[in-house]
Amino acid sequence: MNKNPILLSFAILVLAGVGRASLITFNTLPITVQHGTYNGFVGASIDGSLLNIVTDDYFSNTDVPSEPWDYNVSTLPNLTSARFGSDDIARMKYAEAAVLLAGDGSTLAGIANVTSRKAITDYQYALWALFSDDVPHIDDESLSLLNAAQNDILHPSAANLVSVKTAAENLRIYTPAASAASNQEFLGISVANTVSGEITPTPEPATTFLVGIGFVLLSFLTRKFSGEKIVQRIGR
């Protein structure tokens, strides 16, 4: 099989990554409620900073307001504690989730940059459908968002390559530790001045995203990824 040497070089550039922990207190529920679920950003205090984060995880419940909970923090490509895996397919899904959060600088606005109840709900259900298989209210718009995010990761255009890379680099994945295992996993972005909250910038190496996507694309060179887009949902 003919393999792209550039992608092979990405695959061998493995960056060491160590997960870190955060203390999260949940303060406010999302203001958008449709289909019997709360959709959009949750107000939280993370290590003393007031931030907004959004869940990608359907079934577990988090009480609001809550006591402080221990969460592990993962980034791409080192999904050290992420709930939905750490292999190449998981990396691709979390990269798609980053685009659904922050947008691609072109056709996808991202949930952080929309305000209508319908748009927030469409993005929320797209996030849920990315990781779970039982979202009964997923509609054509949410599926279109999923497909667009996947296309951004597999075939980024010249117009949105920088935005897609930045979104993935800035993704933060908050996965409950053992003491909070029944809680949901949440996602945030580490850039400021977005609807998603004033999050303190946390620079990551510019190669981090490229390495992660290199692993994903390399897997597509060695085996064909098959199967329909999984439909999923988070509920309360």
- Residue pair 72/64 in contact by the 8 Å Cβ criterion: no
Q: Which of 29-33, 66-70, 123-127, 217-221 has the lowest mean pLDDT?
A: 217-221
> Under DSSP, is residue 61 helix (H, G, I), strand (E, B) or coil?
coil
How far apart CA 165 and CA 179 sit, in angstroms, is 33
- Average of pLDDT values for 136-144? 94
- Average of pLDDT values for 47-55? 96
14's tokens: 């493995």
Task: Give the pLDDT confidence score for residue 134 in this predicted structure.
Answer: 87
Task: Give the pLDDT confidence score for residue 190 in this predicted structure.
Answer: 87
> Under DSSP, is residue 21 helix (H, G, I), strand (E, B) or coil?
strand
pLDDT tens for 100-131 read 999 999 999 999 999 999 999 999 999 999 99
Q: Report the percent of the chain where pLDDT is more than 90.
A: 64
Residue 225's φ and ψ, nearest 5 degrees, are -80, 125
How far apart CA 67 and CA 161 sit, in angstroms, is 40
At 213, the pLDDT band (50, 70, 90 cuts) reads low
How far apart CA 94 and CA 97 sit, in angstroms, is 5
pLDDT of residue 60 exceeding 50, the answer is: yes
pLDDT of residue 12 exceeding 60, the answer is: no
Given CA atoms 222, 223, 224, 227 in this order, what sign does their dihedral have?
Answer: negative
Q: Which of 11-20, 155-164, 211-220 has the lowest mean pLDDT?
A: 11-20
Quote the radius of gyration of the chain (alpha carbons, Å): 17
- CA 71 from centre of chain: 16
Q: Regarding beta strands 171-176 and 69-74, do their DSSP bridges make them parallel or antiparallel, or are they unpaired?
A: antiparallel
Task: Give the pLDDT confidence score for residue 19 in this predicted structure.
Answer: 57
Given CA atoms 127, 129, 133, 136 in this order, what sign does their dihedral have?
Answer: positive
How far apart CA 13 and CA 10 sit, in angstroms, is 5
At 233, the pLDDT band (50, 70, 90 cuts) reads very low
pLDDT of residue 231 exceeding 90, the answer is: no
pLDDT of residue 226 exceeding 90, the answer is: no
The more confidently predicted of residues 218 and 95 is 95
Neighbours of 177 (CB within 10 A): 15
